[in-house]
Amino acid sequence: MKTKKYAVIGHPIGHTMSPFIHKRLFALSGIDAEYTALDIVPQAFESEYAATLRYLDGYNITIPYKQRIIPLLSALDSKAEMYGSVNTVHNAGGVSKGYTTDPDGFLKALEAAEIQIDGKIVILGCGGVARTMAYEIALRGKPLCFAVRAKSVDKAKSLCAEIKEKVSGAQTSYIVADDLSGKIDLLINATPVGMFPHSDEQPVSDSVIAECAAVYDAIYNPLDTVLIQKARANGARAEGGMSMLVWQAVVAHEKWDGSRYDKEDIARLCANCAEELLGR
């Protein structure tokens, strides 16, 4: 059987964790495959698709090509169509199908951390990551509130309206983050506040963190943000973004070859990724 060929594409792409993660997932599933990183400049994107990408068995996509790839594909998964974004492509039998694995990666990361999507749910931020998480929460019939900076209120208002239009019965609201108060069952940080090199920052006050039963931080560098550290110190269940990064890769393998992985193997891979990140 020939070696399968996969890649991650983007620009710039020098510090991607994708090869490290996917090579280990192929090893775990016993599949003979190569996985490389391809830095494609914008002016060469379509020509590179014709010359290279369409001949791969599959590939992952990062910024800035998650939307630009769509017109070149044969088909879209229902979630990729709903989100208008593709981060994984499977080529088989002359058909190139696009998927977005971030939503399921988010859900699997919460499940692995035993964090429930229930009660009072607050999402910090209203950008792309927040949008993905919010849709998945709304699709499960759970109410959610975006907590944003004052200058982002209009954007949050628009996102609430969009979700209500697309998801029947969705319950979305927004608040200025400085006005957050009271018990929070699940706080999700979908902002870059606390990300390396500004690792000493936190997106909400200590008083807000103290009221959280569970916290999920989409940031994976550092592995444990100040938000995560303080939430755990308060006795809250808390998880960082490395798990979502790995689980969305796991979902890509499910699409490519139907591979399934043990929760324990993925936990070890998350730890290995953290070690790799620290060594860079």
Beta bridge partners of 147: 124, 175
Q: Which of the residues are catalytic?
A: 66
Q: What distance in Å separates the CA atoms of residue 172 and residue 164, rounded to the nearest whole number?
A: 7
Q: What distance in Å separates the CA atoms of residue 193 and residue 124, rounded to the nearest whole number?
A: 10
- Enter the tokens of residue 85: 């974004």
Q: Tell me the residue type at 167.
A: V
Which ranges in the chain belong to alpha helices (H)?
18-29, 45-51, 78-83, 102-112, 128-139, 153-166, 206-209, 226-233, 242-257, 263-278
Q: Tell me the residue type at 85.
A: S
DSSP state of 44: G
